[in-house]
Structure 1
Amino acid sequence: SVPAERRMPDMEYLYRELKRKSVTMQLLWYEYKQANPDGYQYSQLCNLYRQWVKKLDLTLRQEHRAGEKLFIDYAGQTVSIVDPKTGEITEAQIFLAALGASNYTFVEASLSQDLPSWIKSHVHAFEFFGGVAEILVPDNLKTGVTNPCRYEPDINPTYQDLAEHYGTTVIPARSRKPKDKAKVESAVFVAERWILAALRNHTFFSLTELNQAIAEKLHDLNNRKFQKLNTTRRQLFETIDRPALKSLPSRPYEYAEWKKARV
């Protein structure tokens, strides 16, 4: 018979702790049993946890370790910027970067998806996070990945140079692996819903003005509780990802375009 006082483990605590480096379910069960000698056996705890995780959104179910991966892409939507003098309209591109473990997200607008903009947005993202993840996972975007071959994608030399400057590694999302793409596609969906849709009735006259508005909505997004977790992206970031990120170098990366020398 099950003891009436058998204590249910705190699933959110297990979820957070499992994202920390080297923490295993075995260790967490051992700690739980020390505090609750009549508690669940290891296999029972694993089953209970699996059932709990199944109820979470797909991207929250994925197991990403603290400080391990930063997922990067551009949103499909753009935002119009009107030149106040000429009335000419430019479509601003929306860059996104989301940390794997906490889902903590950075969003900014740029005038293009060209290489200088791509690099500059990375520098801004690293400054926003106050550190760098071990691995950058860009969606297979031609700006950062010159040849998205199935096994060995060629990383743009400037992008590779940026990665080396920050002591990180570029491993592009694999086009045939939906799990690789799920995290960043979820971040894009959330940003389009909570940031871009929320700005739909605004008219912007400069990139600076647009980015100020995005920053306000981004703050709200990162501090909003998840639907099925009693915590926020910001809280998960502060407790899980931030302590595990690599420190920023003393100077930010400066853009330099690599050209193949003709012999």
Structure 2
Amino acid sequence: MTKYKEIIRLTGLGFSQHKIMASCGVAQKTVVKVQKRARELNLTWPLDESMTDTELQKIMFSKESSVSPNKRMPDYAYIRKELLRNGVSKKLLWTEYMEDCRANGDEPLMYSQFCYHIQQDEQKRRATMHINRKLGEQVEVGYAW
């Protein structure tokens, strides 16, 4: 687990990012991200004694909703139907979706989020089931003599 409390403490004491990286055993990108988020939330050292790294993670990087509520979600039924047609791709559907959102004054999803939500919808509707079996538990041999 990332040592959020330690990163904030060392930052408050004026240590360089390099020393914080070495001390906490994390990448520079992690240190920069934690420092930036702590500045945004006005978290400075000293922190509350009872504050744990888990609580800090929830406060700083909660993943309650990755999509802002003012973004319009795609029409999954229409997308499923259109993807069955020849020559139709997700990129083409996203372009149509973007144009429709802009025409209606809605905020659209970017392409990666658009594809992610389509994939999540596909996962809900998938009708396959993986059956775990031990090796050699069930053997089918068919010989044509």
TM-score band (shorter)? 0.3 to 0.5
Please give the TM-score of this superposition, normalised by the length of structure 1: 0.21
Please give the TM-score of this superposition, normalised by the length of structure 2: 0.37
More contact order relative to length (CA 8 Å, sep ≥ 6): 1
Q: Flag the structure with larger Rg.
A: 2
User: Which structure shows the bigger proportion of residues in helix conformation?
Assistant: 2
